[in-house]
Chain A
Amino acid sequence: MTSLEAALEALLGKDSMAPAANEGDGPSPIPRVRPKSAEALAEVLAFANSRRLAVLVRGGGTKSGWGRAPTRCDLVIETTALNRLVEHEPGDLTCVAEAGLTLGELQRLVGRAPGHNQRLMLDPPQGGGATLGGLVATAASGPLRARYGTPRDLLLGARFALADGTLARTGGKVVKNVAGYDLGKLLTGSQGTLAVIVEVALRLHPVPKATRWVVAERLDPQAAQAALAALRRAPVVLSMAELLWPEGTLLTRLDGAVSACGQQAEIVRALLPDSRVAGESEAEELARMIEMRPWGGEGPVLGISVPLTRIGELVALVGVGGPVAQLSLRGTVGAGEARLREGADPAQFTARVDALGGFVAWHRSAAHNAPPLQPNDPVAAGLALGVKQALDPNLTLAPGRGPE
């Protein structure tokens, strides 16, 4: 046992220690702790901060490759022992949960309240084992974003620990609230560089009574662009509008009351050339399929966003000989993920997305290291740096990943 491990064990107790393990490509095992309370987590964080140790926060580990790899790591703090559903009031469609609760477990718990079948309407990649804190920290979302938004839109409040061990709250647990700065938005997508999220309050939705899928296939880029423009103006509410390339498939999902759902599916079908309403077994297959895309297979995966009017041009980049193996895009939002071919350099593709007026985020970047979390605008970058320095002056949290 190293002297650090001995000190950590003295601080937290033996049963909060996890086996040391290598982090990323790191050469030696890194001590890991699994604090059992927010207070204990804050305490170990303050301990590390005062000794200038570099800390990496870890939830379910499903997105540990997202963002830039930290330059140093002396201690991993896992949030997985903070896994209680603190509060679920079905009548309010809200819940409060500890940050280490997994999305899969949350869905199970909020789905079984008597007389209510509710869900957190978030379907991020590898979502089941992902923790709520991790999902907020990575701002991860999936196809349902088309209707329900991202963690930014679903987070009502949070409790978090600063590097110096301060435990603080922002927001609340009610759906409408403008008291104080919305630090929840600041933490969303901050990739563990500003604070450690220990508890979240989230907005839930009822599970829809009926669901219909409409499938349009063999679209070319122009047809896809036109179909999406028509869909956005159509009198329908889409829960998903996933554009899958290179297949040229547009999958739309409609949720709601049974009768309304069927009628809207019919409107979509009439609008999209060569489309059909999927049967029940095909629908299940489609749901499974889009969950895997484009993550199945090797190669870097990038988050991509482009203006709605440039989607046609984006998908035209995907094809034989191009750098992109597979693309899944929320067609009414203009955001999604692309998996590059093995060995492809994300930087080259980034330049092409830039040229379309879009953005790239590095999710699974294999041999390449992602750029640090930084706005493009120089003055905004200065503000971001000021915020980082104010909240984590010793660069304790994931050094090298945020603005420094």
Chain B
Amino acid sequence: MPVDRIPAPLDQELLEALRQAVGVQWVLTDPDQLRTYECDGLTGWRVVPRAVVLPSSTDEVVQVVRICHRSHIPFVARGSGTGLSGGALPVEDGIVIGLSRMREVLRLDLDNERVVVQPGVPNLEVSRVVAPYGYLYAPDPSSQRVCSIGGNVAENSGGAHCLKYGFTTNHVVAVTLVTPDGEVAHLGSAVPDSPGYDLLGVVVGSEGTLGIVTEVTLRVLPVPQRVQTLLAAFPSTDAAGEAVAQIIAAGVLPAAIEMMDRATIEAVEFAMHAGYPDCGAALLVELDGPQSECEALFGQVVEICRSCGSSEVRVAEDEAERALLWKGRRGAFSAMGRVSPDYYVQDGVVPRSQLARVLAGIRELADRHGLKVANVFHAGDGNLHPLILYDRRAPEGPERAKRLAEDILSLCLEAGGSLTGEHGVGRDKVCQMPKLFSADDQRVMHLLRRAFDPAGTANPGKVLPTPRLCGEHPGIYRPHPLELSGAMQRL
């Protein structure tokens, strides 16, 4: 792959047009500056863009996109660059349109439970702004301090609490979309049931392939009256998986159910001493809502955990204890870096009733490939994040990891699951799409894409496979600078 290839610079006339559109200092062409944009959170894939343009308004985005359209220059929209599927990976011969300067909260309309923001606003900023009024923005990807709302819209981001509250698509009610030919469309509405096809529904999660979102209207929710969190220790992932199945089947809908296996717990203890119990698997369960309901259901969850063999149930008594219980979960991925030189993350989904079976299958596969796998994931909705631990310097290290990853994914799909639960297809999984979708399925998606982007300039090579793309292989994982600095956690 073209990691170190320096792309041909744009011709002067084009650069001049871009500079006129956004201002001279907001068109980056210096190779060192361009390198900052060569990858997103999936650092194995790297492509240096020909230029990076940083518009500050919908109008400027329109002008930049029109220049690209006229000159057939492919473009990749980028928020904070924390995505984990290479969705914001630059494309060869293309430019990056960075939305990081568009970070204003434009309007609060809390009586109607709406907030209007620009795409560069960080996810957590939305909740921070509405918190004084007793509201929150529900989707909470682990990178929420850094990741942008525009990126969340592109990826239809989830997070631990989407088990109860749904994904980005359930919380975005309207967007302003700059189409790939530089027109401005208003999709959806602050008011429900706007007429016409649900184009907003396909734009959310389209990974920047249908245009660039420059304004987003979000639904915010009142902060729940009560939040209760527990950590339950189990002898095995089988037992913990059974507890998850029983909680879901009982109709209890926790805000979050997260599972960590022994390998994860050991890494977390080694790295950050979160005080987790020594056990085969742990479940972190959080309930929220009206006090009465929370308390009634909490008792039920504790009972299910005990009946499934939990030896110890720790209940957070206050906010500080709750933060401590979450600390290990949130830091699990960086902790893994302390116990393994390299790791690769999967994002497969399985039906919840299959959790125990699939986890056992992953164990078998890991043994067969002679590698270790740590599991830390959103158990309540069946979204696995197996971390394949490997050493890139070992003979065939990366290749073995890759083969194991593919086998795990096949296992998820055989169980009736999906390729990706929240990270998106991006560049990373584009060549796996045929495992889930037939040629006809993909052709129909392609028809939709062409209806929005006939010229094919919006983030080409992402989401849908092309024969040319699928011969290349990613490089090895390298930690993202934000991750090293501790500003961002993975997953």
Chain B contacts to A: CB under 8 angstroms: 111-113, 134, 155-156, 158, 162, 166-167, 169-170, 179, 183-187, 189-202, 204-206, 222, 224-226, 245, 248-251, 289-293, 295-297, 300, 349-353, 378, 381-383, 416-425, 429, 433, 436-438, 440-445, 447-452, 463-464
Considering only residues 89-115 of chain A, those with a C-beta below 8 Å from chain B are 89-94
Q: Give the interface segment out of A17-25, A173-181, A215-223.
A: A173-181
Asked if residues A188 and B201 are in contact (CB atoms below 8 Å), the reply is yes
Among residues of B, the one whose C-beta sits closest to the C-beta of A149 is B170
Asked if residues A237 and B293 are in contact (CB atoms below 8 Å), the reply is yes
Asked if residues B113 and A182 are in contact (CB atoms below 8 Å), the reply is no
Which residues of chain A have C-beta atoms less than 8 A from B166's C-beta? Answer: 153
Which residues of chain A have C-beta atoms less than 8 A from B186's C-beta? Answer: 377, 379-380
Which residues of chain A have C-beta atoms less than 8 A from B443's C-beta? Answer: 166, 168
Selected A-B contacts with CB under 8 Å, 13 pairs: A91-B245, A92-B352, A152-B201, A178-B420, A180-B464, A232-B113, A232-B222, A260-B295, A267-B290, A383-B179, A390-B450, A391-B447, A403-B197
Considering only residues 248-278 of chain A, those with a C-beta below 8 Å from chain B are 256-257, 259-260, 263-264, 267
Asked if residues B418 and A179 are in contact (CB atoms below 8 Å), the reply is yes
Count chain B CB atoms within 10 A of each CB in A149, A170, A173, A180 and give the residue with the most.
A180
Partner pick for A190 among B185, B197, B416, CB 8 A cutoff: B197
Q: Give the interface segment out of A2-10, A32-40, A283-291, A356-364.
A: A356-364
Which residues of chain B have C-beta atoms less than 8 A from A162's C-beta? Answer: 444
Q: A387 with B197: in contact, given A179-B425, A181-B445, A235-B225 (CB under 8 Å)?
A: yes
Asked if residues A383 and B433 are in contact (CB atoms below 8 Å), the reply is no
Q: How far is the CB of B489 from chain A (nearest CB, A)?
A: 19
Partner pick for B416 among A173, A237, A308, CB 8 A cutoff: A173
Which residues of chain B have C-beta atoms less than 8 A from A382's C-beta? Answer: 183, 185
Which residues of chain A have C-beta atoms less than 8 A from B170's C-beta? Answer: 149, 153
Asked if residues A176 and B167 are in contact (CB atoms below 8 Å), the reply is yes
Bound: A257/B436 CA distance, A: 39
Which residues of chain B have C-beta atoms less than 8 A from A179's C-beta? Answer: 418-420, 425, 429, 433, 436-437
Which bracket fits the contact residues of A? 35 or more
Asked if residues A358 and B293 are in contact (CB atoms below 8 Å), the reply is no
Q: A169-B437, A237-B290, A308-B111 are in contact. List 20 more A-B contacts (CB 8 A).
A: A116-B249, A168-B443, A176-B158, A176-B378, A178-B421, A178-B422, A179-B425, A182-B202, A186-B448, A229-B111, A235-B225, A235-B291, A257-B293, A257-B297, A307-B191, A335-B193, A361-B195, A375-B196, A382-B183, A390-B448
Asked if residues B197 and A384 are in contact (CB atoms below 8 Å), the reply is yes
Asked if residues B183 and A379 are in contact (CB atoms below 8 Å), the reply is yes
Asked if residues A379 and B249 are in contact (CB atoms below 8 Å), the reply is no
Asked if residues A206 and B251 are in contact (CB atoms below 8 Å), the reply is yes
Which residues of chain B have C-beta atoms less than 8 A from A94's C-beta? Answer: 351
Chain A contacts to B: CB under 8 angstroms: 89-94, 116, 149, 152-153, 162, 166-170, 172-186, 188-190, 194, 205-206, 208, 229, 232-233, 235-237, 256-257, 259-260, 263-264, 267, 303, 305-309, 333-335, 357-359, 361, 371, 373-377, 379-384, 386-391, 402-403
Bound: A99/B438 CA distance, A: 20
Count chain A CB atoms within 10 A of each CB in B170, B205, B248, B451 and give the residue with the most.
B451
Partner pick for A174 among B189, B190, B193, B349, CB 8 A cutoff: B349
Which residues of chain A have C-beta atoms less than 8 A from B291's C-beta? Answer: 235
Bound: A96/B403 CA distance, A: 32
Asked if residues B199 and A380 are in contact (CB atoms below 8 Å), the reply is yes
Asked if residues A303 and B193 are in contact (CB atoms below 8 Å), the reply is yes
Which residues of chain B have C-beta atoms less than 8 A from A333's C-beta? Answer: 192
Bound: A398/B202 CA distance, A: 22
Among residues of A, the one whose C-beta sits closest to the C-beta of B295 is A260
Asked if residues B441 and A180 are in contact (CB atoms below 8 Å), the reply is yes
Asked if residues A305 and B191 are in contact (CB atoms below 8 Å), the reply is yes
Among residues of B, the one whose C-beta sits closest to the C-beta of A186 is B202
Asked if residues A180 and B433 are in contact (CB atoms below 8 Å), the reply is yes
Count chain A CB atoms within 10 A of each CB in B292, B296, B416, B447 and give the residue with the most.
B292
Q: How far is the CB of A135 from chain B (nearest CB, A)?
A: 15
Q: A181 with B202: in contact, given A174-B382, A357-B191, A383-B452 (CB under 8 Å)?
A: yes
Which residues of chain A have C-beta atoms less than 8 A from B158's C-beta? Answer: 176, 178
Which residues of chain B have C-beta atoms less than 8 A from A176's C-beta? Answer: 158, 162, 167, 349, 378, 381-383, 418, 421-422
Partner pick for B198 among A186, A260, A264, CB 8 A cutoff: A186
Among residues of B, the one whose C-beta sits closest to the C-beta of A262 is B292
Which residues of chain A have C-beta atoms less than 8 A from B190's C-beta? Answer: 307
Partner pick for A259 among B250, B292, B353, B383, CB 8 A cutoff: B292
Asked if residues B441 and A263 are in contact (CB atoms below 8 Å), the reply is no
Which residues of chain A have C-beta atoms less than 8 A from B193's C-beta? Answer: 303, 305, 335, 359, 361
Q: A169 with B197: in contact, given A174-B350, A386-B452 (CB under 8 Å)?
A: no
Which residues of chain B have C-beta atoms less than 8 A from A305's C-beta? Answer: 191-193
Which residues of chain A have C-beta atoms less than 8 A from B297's C-beta? Answer: 257, 260
Partner pick for B296 among A185, A232, A259, CB 8 A cutoff: A259
Please list the 7 inter-chain residue pairs (A to B) with the smallest Cβ-Cβ separation, ordered nearest first.
Answer: A185-B201, A206-B251, A375-B196, A91-B353, A235-B225, A257-B296, A263-B292
